[in-house]
Amino acid sequence: MAPPSTSAAAAAAAVEEEERKRNILVTGGAGFIGTHTVLQLLKGGFHVTIIDNLDNSVEEAVDRVRGLAGPDLSKRLQFFLGDLRNKEDLDKVFSQNRYDAVIHFAGLKAVGESVAKPLLYYDNNLIGSINLYEFMAKYGCKKLVFSSSTTVYGQPEKIPCVEDFELKAMNPYGRTKLFLEDIARDIQKADPDWNIILLRYFNPVGAHESGKIGEDPKGIPNNLMPYIQQVAVGRLPVLNVYGHDYPTKDGSAVRDYIHVMDVADGHIAALKKIFATEDIGCVAYNLGTGYGTSVLEMVAAFEKASGKKIPIKLSPRRPGDATAVYASTEKAEKELGWRAKYTIEDMCRDQWNWARNNPYGYRSSEP
Ligand code: UD1
């Protein structure tokens, strides 16, 4: 009989071999978090199919992922230009491959735009997801990792945010995320064959260390780091610091910024958990670092990383903004075996590396 160490190694190799054959459908895989996650999936041995309508992304981003993955791994990546609201697109994607799990990123995420165009948000985020789940059920793929957000905590009364806090939405975008969490819980309750992990992202920033992929929002950025980055490269003149009278250490609001590579790795940990657990149910995890950083501290850290002065204008609070939000990380650490590794300095270094190499994002000049 083989010694135990050999059989354990053989069992581990068998599991790894099995994992290598796994096929993951990634909706919104051309986007900011999507591209970084797809790269980590390929490196982790998975086969990946992306469906993306390129509404807020470009195919060049997928080509860059292929470049980073190298010729062998990128053979395992397929890209479909398609929209989840179009059932014909879903039919094509699902009839072509058998998927072991779906990571569902696709969706719109600008709070202000959602207030101005609620129907656009309900149509995109809700209808698209309902169609996707319908096809998953039809084709017998009932393992799902869903992109949720800290937005479901509303204005938290206590920090750190713990997964079992009461949930509430503050705007149409937040309502779509909350509805989609509820829909996921309902689907799983009705059919226990579903295994669903809801990942609540805090504030994903930074970029891949190569500087080849990163965040490239259309139009004037809504979020802090893409805005700072565009000031640093001279596309925007000054950063408005929204709120300087918050009851925080320096008066500016506090958030839990997390490196996008940590967020990507959180998805790999979630998938592994789903594949390793028979009846996970529908369960939510925070993806944050557990540390709060103020807007002014973030500006200072970016200035240090880039050597650029970021002119600021102290401005009134942005409506709907919370004072301070950061994650409790205990549940993800304990149950997913995942924790964030990167520091604020790492996030700013990688964000700047992406910015200086790609001042216009994936384009070569101002769009
Ligand atoms: C925002 C959304 C959140 C969404 C997340 C990801 C709101 C209220 N929340 O989170 O629902 O899930 O983006 O898209 O919009 N700031 C400035 N100047 C700027 C931009 C931002 O001072 O030009 C400040 C904000 O006031 C905030 C902090 O920077 O205090 C972070 O802002 P942002 O990057 O937009 O993230 P959140 O507001 O936390």
CA of 165 to the centre of ligand 1 (A): 21
Q: How far is the CA of 48 from the centre of ligand 1 (A)?
A: 31
Q: Is the predicted pLDDT of residue 2 greater than 70, yes or no?
A: no
* Residue in 99, 121, 153, 173 annotated catalytic: 173
Q: Kindly give the number of the ligand 1 atom that is closest to the alpha carbon of 112.
A: 15
Q: Taking residues 127-142, what's their average pLDDT? A: 98
**How many whole angstroms separate alpha carbon 146 and alpha carbon 37?**
13
Q: Is the pLDDT of residue 300 over 50?
A: yes
Q: Which of 30-34, 105-109, 319-323 has the lowest mean pLDDT?
A: 319-323
Do residues 22 and 101 touch, judged by C-beta distance below 8 A?
yes
pTM for this model (two decimals): 0.95
Average pLDDT, the chain: 95
- In the reported structure, the alpha carbon of residue 322 is separated from the centroid of ligand 1 by a whole-number distance in angstroms of 9
pLDDT(351) > 90: yes
CA distance linking residue 44 with residue 38, whole number of Å: 10
Q: What is the pLDDT of residues 195-242, one digit of tens each?
A: 999 999 999 999 999 999 999 999 999 999 999 999 999 999 999 999
Residues with Cβ within 6 A of ligand 1?
109, 111, 149, 151, 174, 203, 222-224, 227, 239-243, 253, 255, 295, 318, 320-321
Q: Is the pLDDT reported for residue 354 higher than 80?
A: yes
Atom of ligand 1 nearest to the CA of 227: 23
Give the position, in ligand 1's atom list, of the atom nearest the Cα of 221: 23
Place of tokens 């957000």: 149
pLDDT at 3 over 90: no
Mean pLDDT of 269-281: 96
**Catalytic residue at 360?**
no
What confidence tens digit (pLDDT) does each residue in 162-207 have? Answer: 999 999 999 999 999 999 999 999 999 999 999 999 999 999 999 9
Q: In the structure, what pLDDT confidence band is assigned to residue 1 with cuts at 50, 70 and 90?
A: very low
What integer is the mean pLDDT of 243-267? 98
Distance of CA 118 from the midpoint of ligand 1 (Å): 19
pLDDT > 70: what percent of the chain?
Answer: 96
Measured in degrees and rounded to the nearest 5, phi and psi for residue 340 equal: -70, 140
- What is the distance of C-alpha 95 from the center of its chain? 27
Output the residue whose Cα is nearest ligand 1's atom 33: 223
Give the pLDDT score at 365.
84
